[in-house]
C-alpha cells in the first residue's frame, strides 16, 4: 500500500516545542516524536516492548523517555537503560528508532530500511531555506487516502470550479487555459500553465493595492514521489511579456505541500505558502494562510466525500479524461516502485532452499 524506502514529512518543528511528546500514526505505524534537551529530534515506535503501553503517554527525561506503566526508561538510541527494581537489562528490550532529518523547519522521517536512509534523497525546497521568502507553516488532517489529494493537485482546472471565490478567481481559467508544459519524470511530473489577461483571484487581491488590475498568471507545478507538491506562482501586469521573461513588477509565490499517509484512509497534510514581497510585516503571510485554509477546506470536503464513495462502492472505477495524464503517470510510477520494494522484501525474507544431491 505504501512506499517505505523514501522520506516523508512527519511534523513541523513547531509541533515539538516545550518538550512535547507527539504521537503520530505514519503509514499505519504508531510513532513517538519529541525533541530532547540536547536539541536532537527523536522518533521511536510508540510502544514499550515490555507490555505494549504507549510511550507518548510516558515522560520525557532529557533525551530519554520513560514508560509510565512500569517505569522502564529508554535512552536517545532506544536502548533500555533502567528497569525499576531490576539490575539485569535484557539486550532485546529496546525501541525501534527511525532515521530523522530536520531541514527547512520540516522533520523528515524514513519509515523503511534504516540502512538506506540517505539524506541526499530529500527533495529540498529552496525557498524554505531562503530568508527573502516569508510564510507560515500549517497542517491539516484529511479523512481520505493521500493519493486522492495527489489527484486533486494534479489538475489545476479544478481551481475554476472548486475555488472560484478563493484561490481560483473565475471559471474562465478551466476553459481558456491549457498546459504549455506536461513533462513526465522518473519520479513524478512537471506542469506549467498560463492564464493571460485575467482578473486576479481573491486571495491575491487581498494582498495587493490595485485589485482591479489585469494580470498574466503562471502556475508551474512539480509533483514528486511519494506525495510532494511544489508550485511557483507569478502574477505579472497583463501584456508586459512575462511569458517571454519580462517579469518587472510581478508578484511571486512559492508553495510546498506534503502528503504523508496516516492510514489507508487518512492523511497528514503539511504546507507553507510563501511570498517574497512582504518584507518584515507578516500581515501578508497571515492573509495568505487564511486564504489557503479557506481553499483547502473546499478541497477537503470533496476529497473526503470521494473517500466515502470508494468505500461505499468498492467496484466503482473512475473514468479518465485527457487532463488526468499526469496523475495516471504518477500512480503508475508509484505502483511499480511499491511492487518492486515488496518483491525485494519478500525475497529477502524467504527461507533459503538447500540443494541436495540425488540419492
Residue that terminates a domain, selected from 60, 86, 120: 120
Residue that terminates a domain, selected from 98, 120, 142: 120
CATH (domain of 22): 2.102.10.10
Residues 197 and 293 placed together within one structural domain of the fold: yes
pLDDT at 359 > cutoff 80: no
Sign of the CA dihedral 130, 187, 296, 56? negative
281 lies in some domain: yes
Angle of the 283-312 helix axis to the 146-154 helix axis, nearest 10: 120
Residues 91 and 32 placed together within one structural domain of the fold: yes
- Cβ atoms of residues 128 and 136 within 8 Å: no
CA distances from 196 to 97, 190, 199, 236 (A): 51, 20, 9, 10
Residue 156 CA to residue 337 CA, distance in Å, equals: 26
Residues 189 and 113 placed together within one structural domain of the fold: no
Residues 91 and 162 placed together within one structural domain of the fold: no
Residues 111 and 156 placed together within one structural domain of the fold: no
- Global pTM? 0.93
User: Whole-number mean pLDDT of the chain?
Assistant: 93
Tens digit of each residue's pLDDT (9 = 90 or more) over 9-53: 999 999 999 999 999 999 999 999 999 999 999 999 999 999 999
145 lies in some domain: yes
Residues 111 and 171 placed together within one structural domain of the fold: no
Residues 251 and 108 placed together within one structural domain of the fold: no
298 lies in some domain: yes
Residues 191 and 299 placed together within one structural domain of the fold: yes
How is the chain split among helix, strand and coil, in percent rounded to 5? Answer: 30, 35, 35
CATH (domain of 185): 3.90.380.10
Dihedral angle at the C-alpha atoms of 333, 327, 324, 220, nearest 10 degrees? Answer: -120
Write out the three cell numbers for 96: 525501534
344 lies in some domain: no
Of 211, 209, 229, residue with least CA distance to 221: 229
Residue-range definition of the domain harbouring residue 216 = 127-336
Sign of the CA dihedral 102, 267, 130, 117? positive
pLDDT the model gives residue 358: 52
Tens digit of each residue's pLDDT (9 = 90 or more) over 212-268: 999 999 999 999 999 999 999 999 999 999 999 999 999 999 999 999 999 999 999
Average pLDDT (206-214) is 92
Average pLDDT (272-299) is 93
Q: How many helices (H) and strands (E) does the chain have?
A: 6, 17
HSE of 250, CA atoms in CB hemisphere, 13 A:
20
Residues 133 and 232 placed together within one structural domain of the fold: yes
Residues 194 and 115 placed together within one structural domain of the fold: no
Residue that terminates a domain, selected from 79, 102, 120: 120
Amino acid at each position: 500500500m505504501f512506499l517505505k524506502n523514501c522520506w516523508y514529512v512527519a511534523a513541523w518543528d513547531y509541533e515539538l516545542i516545550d518538550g512535547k511528546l507527539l504521537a503520530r500514526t505514519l503509514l499505519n505505524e504508531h510513532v513517538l516524536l519529541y525533541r530532547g534537551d540536547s536539541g536532537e529530534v527523536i522518533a521511536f515506535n510508540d510502544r514499550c516492548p515490555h507490555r505494549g503501553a504507549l510511550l507518548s503517554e510516558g515522560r520525557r527525561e532529557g533525551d530519554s523517555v520513560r514508560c509510565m506503566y512500569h517505569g522502564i526508561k529508554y535512552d536517545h538510541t532506544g536502548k533500555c537503560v533502567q528497569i525499576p527494581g531490576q539490575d539485569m537489562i535484557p539486550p532485546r528490550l529496546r525501541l525501534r528508532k527511525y532515521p530523522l532529518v530536520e531541514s527547512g523547519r520540516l522533520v523528515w522521517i524514513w519509515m523503511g530500511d534504516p540502512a538506506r536512509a540517505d539524506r541526499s534523497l530529500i527533495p529540498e525546497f529552496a525557498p524554505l531555506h531562503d530568508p527573502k521568502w516569508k510564510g507560515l507553516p500549517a497542517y491539516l488532517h484529511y479523512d481520505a487516502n493521500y493519493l486522492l489529494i495527489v489527484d486533486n493537485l494534479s489538475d489545476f482546472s479544478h481551481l475554476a470550479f472548486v475555488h472560484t471565490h478563493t484561490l481560483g478567481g473565475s471559471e474562465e481559467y478551466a476553459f481558456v487555459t491549457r498546459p504549455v508544459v506536461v513533462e513526465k519524470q522518473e519520479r513524478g511530473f512537471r506542469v506549467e500553465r498560463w492564464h493571460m489577461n485575467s482578473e486576479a483571484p481573491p486571495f491575491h487581491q487581498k494582498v495587493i493595492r490595485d485589485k482591479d488590475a489585469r494580470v498574466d498568471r503562471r502556475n508551474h507545478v512539480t509533483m514528486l514521489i511519494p506525495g510532494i507538491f511544489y508550485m511557483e506562482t507569478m502574477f505579472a501586469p497583463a501584456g508586459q511579456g512575462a511569458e517571454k521573461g519580462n517579469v518587472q513588477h510581478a508578484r511571486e509565490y512559492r508553495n510546498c505541500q506534503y502528503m504523508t499517509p496516516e492510514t489507508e484512509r487518512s492523511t497528514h497534510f503539511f504546507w507553507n505558502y510563501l511570498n517574497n514581497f512582504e518584507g518584515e510585516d507578516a500581515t501578508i503571510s497571515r492573509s495568505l494562510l487564511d486564504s489557503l485554509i479557506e481553499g483547502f477546506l473546499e478541497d477537503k470536503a470533496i476529497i473526503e466525500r470521494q473517500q466515502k464513495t470508494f468505500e461505499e462502492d468498492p467496484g466503482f472505477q473512475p473514468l479518465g479524461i485527457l487532463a488526468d495524464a499526469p496523475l495516471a503517470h504518477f500512480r503508475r510510477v508509484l505502483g511499480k516502485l511499491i511492487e518492486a520494494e515488496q518483491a525485494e522484501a519478500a525475497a529477502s525474507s524467504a527461507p533459503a532452499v538447500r540443494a541436495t544431491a540425488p540419492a
